Amino acid sequence: MKNNFGFIHNDPDTITLLDQSMVPKKAMQGSPWYQILSNRKYSNLFYYVGAFLAEREKIIDDGFAPDEGHEELDKKIKCE
């Protein structure tokens, strides 16, 4: 970026630290990752509305009040 456009978008200290870093002798594998949808209790706590539900746009409340005469647009936005 500096050569092509004349500015740096990263902190020079961070770049120096990354350049000095080394590959570890024993890398961590199988890092923990949890799929929230695999636990029904958590998905209910976070109010997940699955795509499998018919007319889910009626259930989703995103805090926006529907505009008069723009029901189709509101439905499209909620389905995204």
Q: How far apart are CA 42 and CA 3, in angstroms?
A: 48
DSSP letter assigned to residue 47: T
Listed by start position, the domains of the chain span 50-80
Three-class SS state of 36: helix
For range 63-80, the mean pLDDT: 63
Query: Quick one: residue 7, left, alpha or beta (phi over 0 = left, psi -120 to 50 = alpha)?
Result: beta
Query: Quick one: residue 63, left, alpha or beta (phi over 0 = left, psi -120 to 50 = alpha)?
Result: left
Structure tokens at 40: 């029904």
Tell me the whole-structure pTM to 2 decimals: 0.29
Does 30 have pLDDT greater than 60? yes
For range 23-33, the mean pLDDT: 74
